[in-house]
Amino acid sequence: MHKWFVYKEFDQAAKAAADFMAGIIEGSLQEKDICHIALPGGNTPKSCLTYLADKKLPWDKVHWYLGDERCFPKGHPERNDVMLEKYLWSKISDTHVYRIPAEKGAEAAATAYRDVVSEFDCFDLVFLGLGEDGHTASLFPDNAALADTRSVIPIYHSPKPPSERVSLSVATLKSALNRVVLVNGNEKAAVIAQIKKNEPLPINCVGDIFWYADEAAVSLAI
């Protein structure tokens, strides 16, 4: 079952999501000495990541991964790892970051990243974004990648540029111990209404989600 946490203002939702994810990290590290977390791309997570960076956590025990990456050259301003470096990793110490080598091209990068994620059983947390078409990570509606059961998959014909990407698969996202999605604004209200009606969108295929949203994003949901 999805769990929804709705706040009047987006900033409140971003702060609450950061608090919740900090709690997941602390809880994981009471059980074991390392925590594996996959992070989103896009614009929505930026302020939440900065709130998370302000937390006092044993960052040296957290290993960071990406939910997906765009096939651009290293350092390209539209790469997800460039955004994550700016809003999170540059603000915390002792980072263990495992970037997707998307500069190698979708197939080679997915193959390489499968070896990286095979080093552990499952993610403790995947923090995901949501597109207006119901995509998450780089898992887009009606794309053949949705049926690919490998852990990390190449993405072709993405409707959101660039057309070539790399993504954790539905199976990998589903196997995570926790999934968090942060959404904001009226532009996501239509897809949220579809999600609440259990429509068969990629985001509805990855398992139970802790949703953090502002009121605008849930304004059309019954």
The residue ranges that bind ligand 6PG (CB under 6 A) are 40-44, 68, 70, 80, 129-131, 135-138, 160
Q: How far is the CB of 124 from ligand 6PG (least distance, A)?
A: 19
Residue 51 backbone phi and psi in degrees, to 5 = -65, -40
DSSP-derived pairing of the beta strands 125-128 and 179-183? parallel
Based on CB atoms, which residue is closest to ligand 6PG, 133 or 215? 133
Burial class (CB in 10 A: 0-12, 13-18, 19+), 136: buried
What does the alpha-carbon distance between residue 56 and residue 108 come to, in Å, rounded to a whole number?
37
Q: How far is the CB of 155 from ligand 6PG (least distance, A)?
A: 10
Based on CB atoms, which residue is closest to ligand 6PG, 27 or 162? 162
Residue least distant from ligand 6PG (Cβ) = 129
Q: How far is the CB of 96 from ligand 6PG (least distance, A)?
A: 21
Encoded tokens for 141: 């509606």
Based on CB atoms, which residue is closest to ligand 6PG, 131 or 154? 131
Based on CB atoms, which residue is closest to ligand 6PG, 29 or 221? 221
Burial class (CB in 10 A: 0-12, 13-18, 19+), 79: buried
Angle (CA) 182-189-130 rounded to 5° is: 35
